Amino acid sequence: MSTYAKKQGFGATLWDFMTTVDHKKIAILYLISGGLFFILGGLEAMFIRIQLAVPDNNFMSAGTFNEMITMHGTTMIFLAAMPILLGIMNAVMPLQIGARDVAFPFLNSLGFWLFFFGGVVLNLSWFMGGAPDAGWTSYASLSIHSQGHGVDFYVLGLQISGFGTLIAGINFLVTIINMRTPGMTYMRMPMFTWTTFVVSALILFAFPPLTVGLTLMLFDRMFGANFFDAAAGGNTIIWEHLFWIFGHPEVYILILPAFGIFSEILATFSRKRLFGYSSMVFATVLIGFLGFMVWAHHMFTVGLGPIANAIFAVATMAIAVPTGIKIFNWIFTMWGGSVRFTVPMLYAVSFIPSFTMGGVTGIMLAAAPADYQYHDSYFVVAHFHYVIVGGVVLGILAGITYYWPKIFGTMLNETLGKFTFWFFLIGFHLTFFIQHFLGLWGMPRRVFTYLPGQGWETSNLVSTAGAIFMAVGVIILLINIIITSVKNVRVGNDPWEDGRTLEWSIPSPPPFYNFKQLPLARGLDAYWIEKMEGKKEMTPAEPLGDIHMPNGSIIPICITIGLFVASFGALYNMDADKTWTVPVIIIGLLITFGSMLIRSIKDDHGFHIHKEDLMDDKDKEVKA
Protein backbone atom coordinates (compact mmCIF):
# COMPACT_ATOMS: atom_id res chain seq x y z
CA MET A 1 0.00 0.00 0.00
CA SER A 2 2.87 2.37 0.75
CA THR A 3 3.89 2.38 -2.93
CA TYR A 4 0.38 3.39 -3.97
CA ALA A 5 0.36 6.17 -1.39
CA LYS A 6 3.60 7.57 -2.82
CA LYS A 7 2.25 7.57 -6.36
CA GLN A 8 -1.24 8.85 -5.73
CA GLY A 9 -1.63 10.72 -2.46
CA PHE A 10 -4.00 9.67 0.31
CA GLY A 11 -7.34 10.73 -1.23
CA ALA A 12 -6.70 9.01 -4.55
CA THR A 13 -5.46 5.85 -2.77
CA LEU A 14 -8.60 5.79 -0.60
CA TRP A 15 -10.85 6.14 -3.66
CA ASP A 16 -8.82 3.44 -5.42
CA PHE A 17 -9.43 0.97 -2.59
CA MET A 18 -13.12 1.92 -2.22
CA THR A 19 -13.80 1.23 -5.91
CA THR A 20 -11.34 -1.59 -6.59
CA VAL A 21 -12.39 -4.98 -7.95
CA ASP A 22 -8.80 -6.30 -8.06
CA HIS A 23 -8.59 -9.44 -5.91
CA LYS A 24 -5.17 -8.42 -4.54
CA LYS A 25 -6.38 -5.03 -3.26
CA ILE A 26 -9.54 -6.64 -1.86
CA ALA A 27 -7.22 -9.07 -0.06
CA ILE A 28 -5.44 -6.09 1.53
CA LEU A 29 -8.82 -4.64 2.60
CA TYR A 30 -9.76 -7.98 4.21
CA LEU A 31 -6.41 -8.18 6.01
CA ILE A 32 -6.59 -4.60 7.35
CA SER A 33 -10.21 -4.79 8.54
CA GLY A 34 -9.83 -8.36 9.85
CA GLY A 35 -6.68 -7.24 11.67
CA LEU A 36 -8.53 -4.32 13.30
CA PHE A 37 -11.32 -6.65 14.44
CA PHE A 38 -8.68 -9.12 15.68
CA ILE A 39 -7.18 -6.39 17.89
CA LEU A 40 -10.69 -5.49 19.12
CA GLY A 41 -11.48 -9.14 19.93
CA GLY A 42 -8.11 -9.43 21.65
CA LEU A 43 -8.84 -6.40 23.84
CA GLU A 44 -12.17 -7.97 24.82
CA ALA A 45 -10.30 -11.18 25.72
CA MET A 46 -7.86 -9.19 27.87
CA PHE A 47 -10.75 -7.55 29.76
CA ILE A 48 -12.24 -11.02 30.38
CA ARG A 49 -8.92 -12.33 31.73
CA ILE A 50 -8.40 -9.22 33.93
CA GLN A 51 -11.86 -9.75 35.44
CA LEU A 52 -11.09 -13.43 36.18
CA ALA A 53 -7.49 -12.92 37.38
CA VAL A 54 -8.50 -12.81 41.06
CA PRO A 55 -11.60 -13.95 42.99
CA ASP A 56 -14.41 -11.52 43.85
CA ASN A 57 -13.10 -9.05 41.28
CA ASN A 58 -15.28 -6.04 40.41
CA PHE A 59 -13.30 -4.82 37.37
CA MET A 60 -16.58 -5.07 35.41
CA SER A 61 -20.20 -5.88 36.21
CA ALA A 62 -21.90 -9.20 35.40
CA GLY A 63 -23.89 -7.56 32.58
CA THR A 64 -20.80 -6.03 30.98
CA PHE A 65 -18.99 -9.38 31.32
CA ASN A 66 -21.82 -11.11 29.41
CA GLU A 67 -21.54 -8.50 26.66
CA MET A 68 -17.76 -8.92 26.61
CA ILE A 69 -17.76 -12.72 26.17
CA THR A 70 -20.50 -12.48 23.53
CA MET A 71 -18.61 -9.88 21.52
CA HIS A 72 -15.23 -11.57 21.98
CA GLY A 73 -16.46 -14.87 20.54
CA THR A 74 -18.53 -13.29 17.77
CA THR A 75 -15.77 -10.86 16.74
CA MET A 76 -12.99 -13.45 16.72
CA ILE A 77 -14.93 -16.07 14.72
CA PHE A 78 -16.94 -13.93 12.27
CA LEU A 79 -15.01 -10.67 11.98
CA ALA A 80 -11.35 -11.59 12.55
CA ALA A 81 -10.42 -15.21 11.73
CA MET A 82 -12.70 -15.63 8.71
CA PRO A 83 -11.94 -12.30 6.97
CA ILE A 84 -8.16 -12.64 7.46
CA LEU A 85 -8.33 -16.13 5.94
CA LEU A 86 -10.55 -14.83 3.11
CA GLY A 87 -7.93 -12.12 2.57
CA ILE A 88 -5.13 -14.70 2.25
CA MET A 89 -7.34 -16.79 -0.08
CA ASN A 90 -8.05 -13.71 -2.21
CA ALA A 91 -4.36 -12.83 -2.43
CA VAL A 92 -2.99 -16.30 -3.13
CA MET A 93 -5.54 -18.70 -4.68
CA PRO A 94 -5.99 -16.95 -8.09
CA LEU A 95 -2.18 -16.75 -8.41
CA GLN A 96 -1.78 -20.44 -7.47
CA ILE A 97 -4.12 -21.59 -10.23
CA GLY A 98 -2.66 -19.18 -12.81
CA ALA A 99 -5.76 -16.97 -13.10
CA ARG A 100 -5.81 -13.23 -13.88
CA ASP A 101 -8.57 -12.52 -11.34
CA VAL A 102 -11.45 -14.26 -9.60
CA ALA A 103 -14.50 -15.28 -11.64
CA PHE A 104 -16.71 -12.36 -10.45
CA PRO A 105 -14.54 -9.34 -9.53
CA PHE A 106 -17.58 -7.09 -8.85
CA LEU A 107 -19.08 -9.67 -6.46
CA ASN A 108 -15.70 -10.02 -4.76
CA SER A 109 -15.82 -6.31 -3.88
CA LEU A 110 -19.48 -6.57 -2.79
CA GLY A 111 -18.63 -9.54 -0.54
CA PHE A 112 -15.95 -7.54 1.26
CA TRP A 113 -18.11 -4.45 1.83
CA LEU A 114 -21.02 -6.59 3.13
CA PHE A 115 -18.68 -8.28 5.63
CA PHE A 116 -17.18 -4.94 6.70
CA PHE A 117 -20.44 -3.04 7.22
CA GLY A 118 -21.97 -6.08 8.97
CA GLY A 119 -19.05 -5.93 11.41
CA VAL A 120 -19.52 -2.20 11.88
CA VAL A 121 -23.26 -2.71 12.64
CA LEU A 122 -22.37 -5.33 15.25
CA ASN A 123 -19.75 -3.17 16.96
CA LEU A 124 -21.85 0.01 16.96
CA SER A 125 -23.98 -1.79 19.57
CA TRP A 126 -21.34 -0.81 22.18
CA PHE A 127 -22.24 2.85 21.63
CA MET A 128 -25.99 2.48 21.04
CA GLY A 129 -27.50 1.08 24.19
CA GLY A 130 -25.45 -2.05 24.86
CA ALA A 131 -23.81 -4.97 23.07
CA PRO A 132 -25.45 -8.41 22.63
CA ASP A 133 -25.28 -10.40 25.88
CA ALA A 134 -26.58 -13.89 25.05
CA GLY A 135 -23.21 -15.55 24.30
CA TRP A 136 -21.60 -15.87 20.85
CA THR A 137 -23.96 -18.81 20.13
CA SER A 138 -26.90 -16.58 21.13
CA TYR A 139 -29.07 -19.47 22.34
CA ALA A 140 -32.72 -18.58 21.82
CA SER A 141 -33.77 -19.08 25.43
CA LEU A 142 -31.45 -16.18 26.34
CA SER A 143 -31.61 -14.05 23.21
CA ILE A 144 -35.40 -13.73 22.78
CA HIS A 145 -35.64 -12.46 26.38
CA SER A 146 -32.59 -10.17 26.17
CA GLN A 147 -33.49 -6.55 27.00
CA GLY A 148 -32.47 -3.66 24.75
CA HIS A 149 -31.29 -3.95 21.17
CA GLY A 150 -28.00 -5.83 21.67
CA VAL A 151 -29.28 -9.10 20.16
CA ASP A 152 -30.88 -7.17 17.26
CA PHE A 153 -27.46 -5.74 16.41
CA TYR A 154 -26.12 -9.32 16.54
CA VAL A 155 -28.83 -10.66 14.21
CA LEU A 156 -28.63 -7.87 11.61
CA GLY A 157 -24.84 -7.50 11.73
CA LEU A 158 -24.26 -11.23 11.21
CA GLN A 159 -26.95 -11.41 8.53
CA ILE A 160 -25.28 -8.66 6.44
CA SER A 161 -21.79 -10.05 7.10
CA GLY A 162 -22.94 -13.61 6.30
CA PHE A 163 -24.21 -12.59 2.86
CA GLY A 164 -20.71 -11.27 2.10
CA THR A 165 -19.08 -14.56 3.12
CA LEU A 166 -21.60 -16.58 1.08
CA ILE A 167 -20.81 -14.45 -2.00
CA ALA A 168 -17.06 -15.02 -1.44
CA GLY A 169 -17.58 -18.79 -1.20
CA ILE A 170 -19.55 -18.98 -4.46
CA ASN A 171 -16.96 -16.75 -6.19
CA PHE A 172 -14.02 -18.94 -5.13
CA LEU A 173 -15.81 -22.14 -6.16
CA VAL A 174 -16.49 -20.83 -9.67
CA THR A 175 -12.94 -19.45 -9.94
CA ILE A 176 -11.30 -22.77 -9.09
CA ILE A 177 -13.62 -24.82 -11.31
CA ASN A 178 -13.44 -22.53 -14.37
CA MET A 179 -10.25 -20.49 -14.31
CA ARG A 180 -7.34 -22.89 -13.78
CA THR A 181 -4.47 -22.31 -16.19
CA PRO A 182 -3.77 -24.94 -18.92
CA GLY A 183 -2.27 -28.09 -17.39
CA MET A 184 -3.57 -27.25 -13.87
CA THR A 185 -5.69 -30.38 -13.33
CA TYR A 186 -7.43 -30.87 -9.99
CA MET A 187 -4.68 -33.22 -8.79
CA ARG A 188 -2.01 -30.65 -9.65
CA MET A 189 -3.61 -27.86 -7.61
CA PRO A 190 -1.55 -26.68 -4.61
CA MET A 191 -2.85 -27.82 -1.22
CA PHE A 192 -3.92 -24.31 -0.21
CA THR A 193 -6.11 -24.10 -3.33
CA TRP A 194 -7.65 -27.47 -2.43
CA THR A 195 -8.50 -26.28 1.08
CA THR A 196 -9.95 -23.04 -0.37
CA PHE A 197 -12.07 -25.18 -2.72
CA VAL A 198 -13.46 -27.40 0.06
CA VAL A 199 -14.00 -24.42 2.38
CA SER A 200 -15.95 -22.59 -0.34
CA ALA A 201 -18.24 -25.63 -0.68
CA LEU A 202 -18.68 -25.69 3.11
CA ILE A 203 -19.61 -21.99 3.10
CA LEU A 204 -22.18 -22.69 0.37
CA PHE A 205 -23.96 -25.32 2.49
CA ALA A 206 -23.28 -24.10 6.05
CA PHE A 207 -24.30 -20.44 5.85
CA PRO A 208 -27.95 -20.92 4.71
CA PRO A 209 -28.93 -22.64 8.02
CA LEU A 210 -27.46 -19.68 9.93
CA THR A 211 -29.31 -17.27 7.62
CA VAL A 212 -32.58 -19.12 8.32
CA GLY A 213 -31.95 -19.17 12.08
CA LEU A 214 -31.13 -15.46 12.19
CA THR A 215 -34.24 -14.66 10.12
CA LEU A 216 -36.46 -16.63 12.52
CA MET A 217 -34.88 -14.86 15.48
CA LEU A 218 -35.42 -11.49 13.77
CA PHE A 219 -39.12 -12.36 13.36
CA ASP A 220 -39.33 -13.51 17.00
CA ARG A 221 -37.86 -10.27 18.29
CA MET A 222 -39.41 -7.79 15.84
CA PHE A 223 -42.86 -9.27 15.30
CA GLY A 224 -43.36 -11.71 18.21
CA ALA A 225 -43.39 -14.73 15.90
CA ASN A 226 -42.70 -17.29 18.70
CA PHE A 227 -40.56 -19.74 16.69
CA PHE A 228 -38.34 -20.22 19.74
CA ASP A 229 -40.75 -19.41 22.62
CA ALA A 230 -41.64 -22.71 24.30
CA ALA A 231 -44.52 -21.07 26.24
CA ALA A 232 -46.20 -20.17 22.92
CA GLY A 233 -45.60 -23.55 21.23
CA GLY A 234 -42.12 -22.81 19.85
CA ASN A 235 -38.93 -24.74 20.55
CA THR A 236 -35.59 -23.24 21.64
CA ILE A 237 -33.74 -26.41 20.59
CA ILE A 238 -34.50 -25.59 16.93
CA TRP A 239 -32.15 -22.60 17.24
CA GLU A 240 -29.40 -24.87 18.60
CA HIS A 241 -29.79 -27.25 15.64
CA LEU A 242 -29.78 -24.43 13.08
CA PHE A 243 -26.84 -22.71 14.75
CA TRP A 244 -24.68 -25.84 15.06
CA ILE A 245 -25.53 -27.16 11.57
CA PHE A 246 -23.75 -23.98 10.58
CA GLY A 247 -21.43 -23.75 13.59
CA HIS A 248 -19.61 -27.04 13.33
CA PRO A 249 -18.76 -26.78 9.61
CA GLU A 250 -17.69 -23.22 10.50
CA VAL A 251 -14.88 -24.72 12.62
CA TYR A 252 -13.62 -26.50 9.49
CA ILE A 253 -14.18 -23.37 7.37
CA LEU A 254 -11.62 -21.80 9.72
CA ILE A 255 -9.15 -24.68 10.19
CA LEU A 256 -8.91 -26.04 6.63
CA PRO A 257 -7.30 -22.88 5.14
CA ALA A 258 -4.80 -23.01 8.03
CA PHE A 259 -4.10 -26.65 7.08
CA GLY A 260 -3.49 -25.47 3.50
CA ILE A 261 -1.13 -22.70 4.64
CA PHE A 262 0.89 -25.15 6.77
CA SER A 263 1.05 -27.64 3.88
CA GLU A 264 2.60 -24.95 1.64
CA ILE A 265 5.04 -23.80 4.34
CA LEU A 266 6.20 -27.30 5.34
CA ALA A 267 6.86 -28.29 1.71
CA THR A 268 8.68 -25.02 0.96
CA PHE A 269 10.99 -25.02 3.98
CA SER A 270 11.64 -28.79 3.92
CA ARG A 271 12.59 -28.40 0.22
CA LYS A 272 10.44 -31.45 -0.51
CA ARG A 273 7.16 -32.33 -2.14
CA LEU A 274 4.28 -32.54 0.31
CA PHE A 275 4.26 -36.15 1.51
CA GLY A 276 1.15 -38.13 0.48
CA TYR A 277 -0.40 -35.36 -1.63
CA SER A 278 -3.32 -37.46 -2.91
CA SER A 279 -4.14 -38.73 0.60
CA MET A 280 -4.03 -35.11 1.83
CA VAL A 281 -6.58 -34.13 -0.84
CA PHE A 282 -8.78 -37.10 0.11
CA ALA A 283 -8.49 -36.23 3.83
CA THR A 284 -9.44 -32.59 3.13
CA VAL A 285 -12.57 -33.60 1.21
CA LEU A 286 -13.48 -36.18 3.87
CA ILE A 287 -13.12 -33.62 6.68
CA GLY A 288 -15.41 -31.29 4.71
CA PHE A 289 -17.98 -34.07 4.27
CA LEU A 290 -17.88 -35.37 7.86
CA GLY A 291 -17.98 -31.77 9.17
CA PHE A 292 -21.73 -31.79 8.44
CA MET A 293 -22.33 -35.07 10.31
CA VAL A 294 -21.24 -34.09 13.81
CA TRP A 295 -23.11 -30.89 14.80
CA ALA A 296 -25.15 -32.46 17.64
CA HIS A 297 -22.02 -33.25 19.68
CA HIS A 298 -22.50 -29.66 20.92
CA MET A 299 -25.91 -30.78 22.22
CA PHE A 300 -25.26 -34.06 24.09
CA THR A 301 -26.92 -32.66 27.23
CA VAL A 302 -30.17 -31.35 25.69
CA GLY A 303 -31.93 -34.74 25.78
CA LEU A 304 -31.76 -36.01 22.19
CA GLY A 305 -31.60 -39.58 23.55
CA PRO A 306 -28.95 -42.32 23.62
CA ILE A 307 -29.26 -43.34 19.94
CA ALA A 308 -28.73 -39.82 18.56
CA ASN A 309 -25.93 -39.22 21.05
CA ALA A 310 -24.20 -42.49 20.08
CA ILE A 311 -24.43 -41.74 16.33
CA PHE A 312 -22.97 -38.27 16.72
CA ALA A 313 -20.27 -39.53 19.12
CA VAL A 314 -19.10 -42.12 16.57
CA ALA A 315 -19.16 -39.56 13.72
CA THR A 316 -17.13 -37.14 15.86
CA MET A 317 -14.50 -39.79 16.55
CA ALA A 318 -14.42 -40.69 12.83
CA ILE A 319 -13.48 -37.14 11.84
CA ALA A 320 -10.24 -37.53 13.81
CA VAL A 321 -9.02 -40.11 11.25
CA PRO A 322 -8.52 -37.79 8.21
CA THR A 323 -7.05 -35.16 10.57
CA GLY A 324 -4.59 -37.78 11.85
CA ILE A 325 -3.63 -38.63 8.25
CA LYS A 326 -2.76 -34.97 7.70
CA ILE A 327 -0.65 -34.73 10.87
CA PHE A 328 1.43 -37.80 9.92
CA ASN A 329 1.88 -36.50 6.37
CA TRP A 330 3.16 -33.14 7.67
CA ILE A 331 5.67 -34.94 9.89
CA PHE A 332 6.79 -37.17 6.99
CA THR A 333 7.17 -34.08 4.77
CA MET A 334 9.82 -32.79 7.18
CA TRP A 335 11.39 -36.26 7.63
CA GLY A 336 14.58 -36.39 5.55
CA GLY A 337 14.01 -32.87 4.22
CA SER A 338 16.45 -29.98 4.27
CA VAL A 339 14.54 -28.04 6.94
CA ARG A 340 15.01 -24.26 7.35
CA PHE A 341 13.55 -22.78 10.55
CA THR A 342 12.23 -19.47 9.24
CA VAL A 343 9.43 -17.74 11.18
CA PRO A 344 6.63 -19.37 9.10
CA MET A 345 8.28 -22.78 9.62
CA LEU A 346 8.44 -22.21 13.40
CA TYR A 347 4.68 -21.61 13.40
CA ALA A 348 4.13 -24.72 11.28
CA VAL A 349 6.24 -26.98 13.51
CA SER A 350 4.67 -25.65 16.75
CA PHE A 351 1.18 -26.00 15.24
CA ILE A 352 1.45 -29.80 14.99
CA PRO A 353 1.67 -30.60 18.75
CA SER A 354 -0.54 -27.62 19.74
CA PHE A 355 -3.37 -28.62 17.40
CA THR A 356 -3.00 -32.33 18.25
CA MET A 357 -3.60 -31.48 21.92
CA GLY A 358 -6.82 -29.73 20.93
CA GLY A 359 -7.83 -32.76 18.86
CA VAL A 360 -7.22 -35.18 21.73
CA THR A 361 -9.45 -33.21 24.11
CA GLY A 362 -12.03 -33.10 21.29
CA ILE A 363 -12.10 -36.92 21.27
CA MET A 364 -12.57 -36.83 25.07
CA LEU A 365 -15.57 -34.51 24.59
CA ALA A 366 -16.93 -36.81 21.84
CA ALA A 367 -17.64 -39.51 24.44
CA ALA A 368 -21.22 -38.56 25.34
CA PRO A 369 -21.19 -39.88 28.96
CA ALA A 370 -17.94 -38.01 29.69
CA ASP A 371 -19.34 -34.91 28.00
CA TYR A 372 -22.05 -34.73 30.69
CA GLN A 373 -19.20 -33.96 33.12
CA TYR A 374 -17.10 -31.70 30.88
CA HIS A 375 -20.03 -29.77 29.40
CA ASP A 376 -20.16 -26.05 30.26
CA SER A 377 -16.91 -26.29 32.23
CA TYR A 378 -13.62 -24.54 31.47
CA PHE A 379 -12.40 -27.84 29.97
CA VAL A 380 -14.49 -27.01 26.88
CA VAL A 381 -13.08 -23.46 26.76
CA ALA A 382 -9.56 -24.92 26.85
CA HIS A 383 -10.42 -27.45 24.11
CA PHE A 384 -11.81 -25.06 21.55
CA HIS A 385 -9.13 -22.44 22.16
CA TYR A 386 -6.47 -25.12 21.57
CA VAL A 387 -8.14 -25.88 18.24
CA ILE A 388 -8.90 -22.28 17.20
CA VAL A 389 -5.80 -20.49 18.55
CA GLY A 390 -3.43 -23.48 18.27
CA GLY A 391 -4.69 -24.15 14.75
CA VAL A 392 -6.36 -21.17 13.12
CA VAL A 393 -4.52 -18.23 14.73
CA LEU A 394 -1.10 -19.88 14.39
CA GLY A 395 -2.08 -20.55 10.75
CA ILE A 396 -3.04 -16.90 10.25
CA LEU A 397 0.24 -15.66 11.77
CA ALA A 398 2.20 -18.17 9.67
CA GLY A 399 0.29 -17.26 6.49
CA ILE A 400 0.68 -13.52 6.97
CA THR A 401 4.44 -13.89 7.57
CA TYR A 402 4.86 -16.30 4.63
CA TYR A 403 2.80 -14.39 2.07
CA TRP A 404 3.59 -10.84 3.26
CA PRO A 405 6.40 -10.38 0.68
CA LYS A 406 4.10 -11.62 -2.12
CA ILE A 407 1.22 -9.31 -1.14
CA PHE A 408 3.20 -6.17 -0.22
CA GLY A 409 6.61 -6.70 -1.87
CA THR A 410 8.57 -6.32 1.39
CA MET A 411 9.88 -8.83 3.96
CA LEU A 412 8.87 -8.75 7.63
CA ASN A 413 11.84 -8.70 10.00
CA GLU A 414 12.78 -12.29 10.95
CA THR A 415 14.19 -11.41 14.40
CA LEU A 416 11.07 -9.49 15.44
CA GLY A 417 9.02 -12.32 13.91
CA LYS A 418 10.75 -14.82 16.21
CA PHE A 419 10.01 -12.60 19.23
CA THR A 420 6.32 -12.54 18.21
CA PHE A 421 6.36 -16.31 17.76
CA TRP A 422 7.87 -17.16 21.16
CA PHE A 423 5.77 -14.65 23.12
CA PHE A 424 2.58 -15.80 21.40
CA LEU A 425 3.28 -19.54 21.67
CA ILE A 426 4.37 -19.47 25.33
CA GLY A 427 1.47 -17.14 26.19
CA PHE A 428 -1.01 -19.39 24.38
CA HIS A 429 0.00 -22.53 26.29
CA LEU A 430 0.18 -20.63 29.59
CA THR A 431 -3.32 -19.23 29.05
CA PHE A 432 -5.21 -22.32 27.96
CA PHE A 433 -3.35 -25.44 29.18
CA ILE A 434 -4.21 -24.67 32.81
CA GLN A 435 -7.87 -24.15 31.86
CA HIS A 436 -8.25 -27.91 31.22
CA PHE A 437 -7.57 -28.46 34.92
CA LEU A 438 -9.79 -25.55 35.98
CA GLY A 439 -12.61 -27.32 34.13
CA LEU A 440 -11.85 -30.68 35.75
CA TRP A 441 -11.78 -28.91 39.14
CA GLY A 442 -15.31 -27.67 38.51
CA MET A 443 -15.00 -24.10 37.27
CA PRO A 444 -18.03 -23.40 35.03
CA ARG A 445 -17.94 -21.37 31.80
CA ARG A 446 -19.41 -17.89 31.48
CA VAL A 447 -19.14 -16.99 35.19
CA PHE A 448 -18.02 -13.41 35.74
CA THR A 449 -16.41 -14.05 39.13
CA TYR A 450 -15.79 -16.81 41.69
CA LEU A 451 -15.32 -17.11 45.44
CA PRO A 452 -11.90 -17.50 47.10
CA GLY A 453 -10.96 -20.87 48.61
CA GLN A 454 -12.13 -23.05 45.69
CA GLY A 455 -8.62 -23.79 44.45
CA TRP A 456 -8.97 -21.74 41.24
CA GLU A 457 -7.07 -18.55 42.18
CA THR A 458 -3.51 -19.48 41.10
CA SER A 459 -4.63 -21.12 37.86
CA ASN A 460 -6.69 -18.11 36.81
CA LEU A 461 -3.77 -15.78 37.59
CA VAL A 462 -1.43 -17.95 35.44
CA SER A 463 -4.02 -17.89 32.64
CA THR A 464 -4.20 -14.08 32.75
CA ALA A 465 -0.38 -13.83 32.72
CA GLY A 466 -0.36 -15.98 29.57
CA ALA A 467 -2.88 -13.64 27.92
CA ILE A 468 -0.50 -10.73 28.59
CA PHE A 469 2.31 -12.67 26.87
CA MET A 470 0.10 -13.20 23.80
CA ALA A 471 -0.76 -9.49 23.75
CA VAL A 472 2.97 -8.58 23.82
CA GLY A 473 3.52 -10.94 20.86
CA VAL A 474 0.79 -9.19 18.84
CA ILE A 475 2.19 -5.73 19.74
CA ILE A 476 5.65 -6.81 18.47
CA LEU A 477 3.99 -8.00 15.23
CA LEU A 478 2.39 -4.55 14.77
CA ILE A 479 5.78 -2.87 15.38
CA ASN A 480 7.31 -5.25 12.82
CA ILE A 481 4.64 -4.30 10.25
CA ILE A 482 5.18 -0.56 10.82
CA ILE A 483 9.01 -0.81 10.56
CA THR A 484 8.79 -2.98 7.41
CA SER A 485 6.33 -0.58 5.75
CA VAL A 486 8.45 2.49 6.56
CA LYS A 487 11.73 0.90 5.33
CA ASN A 488 9.93 -0.47 2.23
CA VAL A 489 12.86 -2.64 1.04
CA ARG A 490 11.66 -4.35 -2.16
CA VAL A 491 12.04 -8.09 -2.74
CA GLY A 492 12.07 -10.27 -5.85
CA ASN A 493 9.49 -12.75 -7.08
CA ASP A 494 10.75 -15.66 -4.90
CA PRO A 495 11.94 -14.05 -1.64
CA TRP A 496 12.03 -17.35 0.34
CA GLU A 497 14.14 -18.82 -2.52
CA ASP A 498 12.37 -22.18 -2.33
CA GLY A 499 8.93 -21.27 -3.71
CA ARG A 500 7.27 -24.23 -5.40
CA THR A 501 3.95 -22.94 -6.73
CA LEU A 502 2.90 -20.44 -9.42
CA GLU A 503 2.49 -17.39 -7.17
CA TRP A 504 6.30 -17.28 -6.66
CA SER A 505 6.95 -17.11 -10.43
CA ILE A 506 5.66 -13.52 -10.84
CA PRO A 507 6.89 -10.20 -9.34
CA SER A 508 6.15 -9.19 -5.72
CA PRO A 509 3.67 -7.55 -5.44
CA PRO A 510 2.09 -8.96 -8.62
CA PRO A 511 1.05 -6.64 -11.50
CA PHE A 512 -2.69 -5.96 -11.59
CA TYR A 513 -3.15 -8.44 -14.47
CA ASN A 514 -1.15 -11.14 -12.55
CA PHE A 515 0.28 -13.00 -15.58
CA LYS A 516 1.45 -11.50 -18.91
CA GLN A 517 0.90 -14.95 -20.42
CA LEU A 518 -0.96 -17.74 -18.67
CA PRO A 519 1.62 -20.27 -17.42
CA LEU A 520 1.65 -23.94 -18.40
CA ALA A 521 1.39 -26.20 -15.34
CA ARG A 522 3.40 -29.35 -16.10
CA GLY A 523 2.78 -31.06 -12.79
CA LEU A 524 2.35 -30.60 -9.05
CA ASP A 525 4.58 -27.76 -7.77
CA ALA A 526 4.66 -26.29 -11.28
CA TYR A 527 7.22 -23.54 -10.58
CA TRP A 528 9.59 -25.99 -8.85
CA ILE A 529 9.55 -28.21 -11.97
CA GLU A 530 10.68 -25.24 -14.11
CA LYS A 531 13.36 -24.26 -11.56
CA MET A 532 14.77 -27.80 -11.52
CA GLU A 533 15.21 -27.52 -15.30
CA GLY A 534 17.19 -24.31 -14.85
CA LYS A 535 14.46 -21.93 -16.04
CA LYS A 536 13.75 -18.68 -14.22
CA GLU A 537 10.27 -18.16 -15.67
CA MET A 538 7.25 -20.34 -16.31
CA THR A 539 6.73 -21.87 -19.75
CA PRO A 540 3.84 -19.83 -21.24
CA ALA A 541 0.66 -21.65 -22.29
CA GLU A 542 -0.36 -18.94 -24.78
CA PRO A 543 1.23 -16.30 -27.03
CA LEU A 544 1.45 -12.73 -25.76
CA GLY A 545 -1.85 -10.97 -26.49
CA ASP A 546 -4.25 -8.28 -25.28
CA ILE A 547 -5.64 -8.80 -21.76
CA HIS A 548 -9.21 -7.88 -20.84
CA MET A 549 -9.64 -6.41 -17.33
CA PRO A 550 -12.73 -5.19 -15.39
CA ASN A 551 -13.28 -1.55 -14.40
CA GLY A 552 -13.48 -0.53 -10.76
CA SER A 553 -16.90 0.34 -9.32
CA ILE A 554 -18.35 2.32 -6.41
CA ILE A 555 -21.64 0.40 -6.69
CA PRO A 556 -20.71 -2.45 -4.24
CA ILE A 557 -20.19 0.04 -1.41
CA CYS A 558 -23.50 1.82 -2.33
CA ILE A 559 -25.45 -1.47 -2.23
CA THR A 560 -23.99 -2.17 1.21
CA ILE A 561 -24.60 1.32 2.61
CA GLY A 562 -28.29 0.90 1.71
CA LEU A 563 -28.49 -2.29 3.80
CA PHE A 564 -26.52 -0.57 6.58
CA VAL A 565 -29.08 2.28 6.70
CA ALA A 566 -32.09 -0.07 6.47
CA SER A 567 -30.76 -2.21 9.34
CA PHE A 568 -31.05 0.76 11.75
CA GLY A 569 -34.67 1.26 10.76
CA ALA A 570 -35.32 -2.44 11.37
CA LEU A 571 -33.48 -2.32 14.70
CA TYR A 572 -35.63 0.37 16.25
CA ASN A 573 -38.89 -0.57 14.51
CA MET A 574 -40.14 -2.47 17.58
CA ASP A 575 -39.96 0.69 19.73
CA ALA A 576 -43.45 2.21 19.81
CA ASP A 577 -42.12 5.75 20.27
CA LYS A 578 -39.92 5.67 17.13
CA THR A 579 -41.95 6.90 14.14
CA TRP A 580 -38.97 7.39 11.82
CA THR A 581 -38.07 3.71 11.45
CA VAL A 582 -40.19 2.74 8.42
CA PRO A 583 -38.99 5.69 6.26
CA VAL A 584 -35.38 4.76 7.17
CA ILE A 585 -35.97 1.12 6.10
CA ILE A 586 -37.51 2.32 2.81
CA ILE A 587 -34.67 4.81 2.12
CA GLY A 588 -32.04 2.12 2.83
CA LEU A 589 -33.70 -0.45 0.56
CA LEU A 590 -34.16 2.17 -2.19
CA ILE A 591 -30.39 2.90 -2.06
CA THR A 592 -29.62 -0.84 -2.29
CA PHE A 593 -32.10 -1.74 -5.05
CA GLY A 594 -31.40 1.51 -6.93
CA SER A 595 -27.68 0.67 -6.96
CA MET A 596 -28.47 -2.85 -8.16
CA LEU A 597 -30.68 -1.42 -10.93
CA ILE A 598 -27.91 0.94 -12.06
CA ARG A 599 -25.50 -2.00 -12.12
CA SER A 600 -27.88 -4.09 -14.24
CA ILE A 601 -28.61 -1.43 -16.88
CA LYS A 602 -25.12 0.07 -17.09
CA ASP A 603 -22.99 -1.36 -19.91
CA ASP A 604 -19.51 -1.77 -18.47
CA HIS A 605 -17.25 -3.80 -20.75
CA GLY A 606 -14.05 -3.17 -18.83
CA PHE A 607 -10.84 -2.29 -20.68
CA HIS A 608 -8.00 -3.96 -22.57
CA ILE A 609 -4.26 -3.89 -21.89
CA HIS A 610 -2.59 -4.01 -25.30
CA LYS A 611 0.18 -6.50 -25.82
CA GLU A 612 2.62 -3.70 -26.77
CA ASP A 613 2.22 -2.32 -23.23
CA LEU A 614 3.01 -5.77 -21.78
CA MET A 615 6.26 -6.19 -23.69
CA ASP A 616 9.44 -5.39 -21.79
CA ASP A 617 12.44 -3.85 -23.59
CA LYS A 618 13.91 -7.27 -24.42
CA ASP A 619 10.70 -8.39 -26.17
CA LYS A 620 10.54 -5.15 -28.14
CA GLU A 621 14.14 -5.60 -29.33
CA VAL A 622 13.38 -9.16 -30.48
CA LYS A 623 10.28 -7.96 -32.34
CA ALA A 624 12.25 -5.12 -34.00
Domains and their CATH numbers in the chain: 10-511+554-623 (1.20.210.10)
Judged by DSSP in three states, 22 sits in coil
- Whole-angstrom CA distances from 218 to 151, 162, 223 are 9, 15, 8
Spans in the chain with pLDDT lower than 70: 1-7, 616-624
In the prediction, which pLDDT does 261 show?
Answer: 97
| pLDDT for 594 | 96
Judged by phi (left if over 0) then psi (alpha if -120 to 50, else beta), residue 298 lies in alpha
Cross-strand bridge partners of residue 609: 547
pLDDT for 612 equals 87
Q: Which amino acid is at 380?
A: V
The pLDDT of residue 129 is 83
pLDDT (0 to 100) of residue 613: 86
Q: Using alpha carbons, list the distances in angstroms from residue 398 to 84, 197, 379, 401.
A: 12, 20, 27, 5
Neighbours of 75 (CB within 10 A): 24
φ/ψ of residue 548, rounded to 5: -90, 130
For residue 2, the model assigns a pLDDT of 38
Check: pTM over 0.75? Answer yes or no: yes
